[in-house]
Structures are given as C-alpha cells and as structure tokens.
Amino acid sequence: MYTPERLDKVAPNNVVILRALHLGDLLNAVPAFRALRWSLPNAHITLVSLPWATDFVKRFNAYLDDFIAFPGFPGLPEQLPNIHDFPFFLLKLQRSNFDLAIQMHGSGGIANSLIHLCGAKRNAGFYTPGTYCPDKNYFMTYPAHEPEVWRHLRLMEFLGIPLHGEELEFPLFEEDRTAVQHIKGDFNLKDKYVCIHPGARASNRRWPPNKFADVADGLAALGYQIVLTGSQEEANITESVASLMETRAINLTGKTVLGTLAALISQASLLVCNDTGVSHIASAVKTPSVILFIASNPKRWAPQNKELHYVVHDAMTATPLEVLVQAVRHLERVRDYVC
C-alpha cells in the first residue's frame, strides 16, 4: 500500500477540516484533532462545521484556531442547504489558500467533491471504492468496521501523524463550574445526584419516557436526587418523564448551555441516557454512564472505556427494572474501579 509523505514533514501551515456534523460526531473527532495539533503545532487549523460549532471551536482552541460555518449542500442531511450563501462560502475557502484540506465528514461521495472545491494545495480524507477520490495517495478507504473515534485516528495514522491517545476531552471553564454552583443554590441540588437525559435528536433512538421515569424513581429511592436534562426542543419529553415520576425531579431542560451541561454531568454520580451527544460528554468528563442503544450501533458509538460506561443493547426489549439493576451494579463496579 502506498504510504503518503508524512504531513509533519510536509508541515502544512494552513489546514482546513470539513466535519459539518453534531456534538457527538465532533467530540469523537477530538483525539484526531489532538494528534494533528501535536504534529503541526504552528499550523493554523480551521474547522468547517454546522453553525452551532462556533462555540465548540472556542472551547477547543488548543487544537482549532478558526471556524467557517457550513451553509449545507444538497444530499447532505444535517441541515437544509442555503444555496444563496454557498458561492460566498466557497469563495472564502478558496481565498484562504489552504495548504491542506481534510475530509472528516464521512465516507466520501458528496463530501469529497466539496473538499476538492476548497482549492487547497493538497486534499486528504476518506473514500469508498467506486466513488470519487480526489487523490488516492492521501485518501484512505473508509474504515467502516472501526469505532467512530478510531475511524479518524486511522486517518491520522495513514497520513503519518503519531497518535496521542483515544480519550475524548471536554475542557471546562470557570464560568461553567460557577453556573453549576448557581444551579445547586437555586434548586437545592446536593452532591449526590443522577442526570437523566431522555431525549435524542432522532426519535428512533429514544427510550420511552415511562421507562425513564421508572428508572429515575428507582434511583431516587436509593437516595439520589434526579436531574432531568435536555434542550428546549426536548421539553415535551422531559416534562413527560417528570409527570410520570412518583418522586420530584429537578427539571433543567433548556436551562443549561453546553458548557454548563458538561460541568453538571461532570459532577454527577451517574448519567442515564440514550445514545446521543451527552453520552460522549460523559465519556469526555469521565462520569459513569448507562447508555441505552436502540437503533444505532454500539460497536461504532459506545465509549471506549468499558469500566466507566455500561451499554444496554437492544434497549427497547429491556424493562425499567432490568436497567435499574444494571445501573446500581454499575455504580458499585465504578466505585471499585475508582478505588
């Protein structure tokens, strides 16, 4: 197999990465971002992503220097394309004179055509045999059998970039911790609490609210305060869980920005959630979790640390009692693991 010239020897000064996806997708790419920064400490690295990710770049400014909002494109499902803005987006990319453009958006196809339009001196990334490949010397076959985090680490290896661990990260700022202290004061939240996150972007990845309510009541009976989390768009889901519970929960739906949510999870005894972005936050801040997998593939999306994170496979067939028992056992195992 052809091995491309090591990128740390080529030393591109101006790099752009295309990964216009959601929170969990970006968090799983952080180990690759970290490896790239270690090998290219003086490079200016720009992330092209969905508009929400401007705050992500600010938080991960140790690895990412700049941000360009992606206006969408026909055939890519993450957002409705703004065709009016697309020519200006391309013009901005081309005027940036990137030395290297890396396609980390997915397996190829439309994304590879887009990365080629950036006008960079060199393109790299993934491709699927039979689809468009801008440069076979710098594009590797998409490793679909790997966990998500390792798909991007394999690309770094292919490009000659030494790895610096597979662990996720989520930097917490002082204002994040201060916001949690305010929440504790406002809601009389003690240190022994469990976060329950019943929402998920895709409806087919959501465990039913009544089952979440039963698990939450079981944990409350063991002395844990229950904190319900979610975005404002998920308010109907968390309100349903709260109304079905016999005990009173602290419902923080829509009351936390991303950093506050991460800090809140970092101090929790446990997170119980669907396979969604917060599961990767728990992995990044090293909070134990129980993750309910329904439609997605645990081999791809489950956290790598099996000691801290417990996966419920085929969760729709699991009863609340079964999940509660596993959650309690997991908390006991984690205490032994930490000790």
Question: Does residue 180 sit in the same domain as residue 153?
Answer: no
pLDDT per position as a tens digit, 168-217: 999 999 999 999 999 999 999 999 999 999 999 989 999 999 999 999 99
User: 86 and 110 in contact (C-beta within 8 Å)?
Assistant: no
DSSP 205: G
Counting the structural domains of the chain, the total is: 2
Are residues 217 and 295 both part of a single domain?
yes
Q: Do both 127 and 227 map to the same domain? A: no
Question: Taking a C-beta distance cutoff of 8 angstroms, is the pair 19, 26 a contact?
Answer: yes
Interval 266-321: pLDDT, tens = 999 999 999 999 999 999 999 999 999 999 999 999 999 999 999 999 999 999 99
| Burial group, residue 136, by CB count within 10 angstroms (0-12, 13-18, 19+) | exposed
What integer pLDDT is reported at residue 1 of this predicted model?
43
User: Rounded to two decimals, what is the model's pTM?
Assistant: 0.94
The whole-number pLDDT of residue 157 equals: 96
Same domain, 26 and 147: yes
Q: Within this chain, do residues 317 and 184 fall inside the same structural domain, yes or no?
A: yes
The answer to whether the beta carbons of residues 242 and 211 sit under 8 Å apart is no
**Residue 263 sits in which domain range?**
174-338
Does residue 163 lie within any of the structural domains? Answer: no
134 pLDDT exceeds 60? yes
pLDDT for 209 equals 97
pLDDT surpasses 80 at 337: no
* Same domain membership, residue 153 and residue 296: no
Q: What is the mean pLDDT of the chain?
A: 94
**194, 301: one domain:** yes
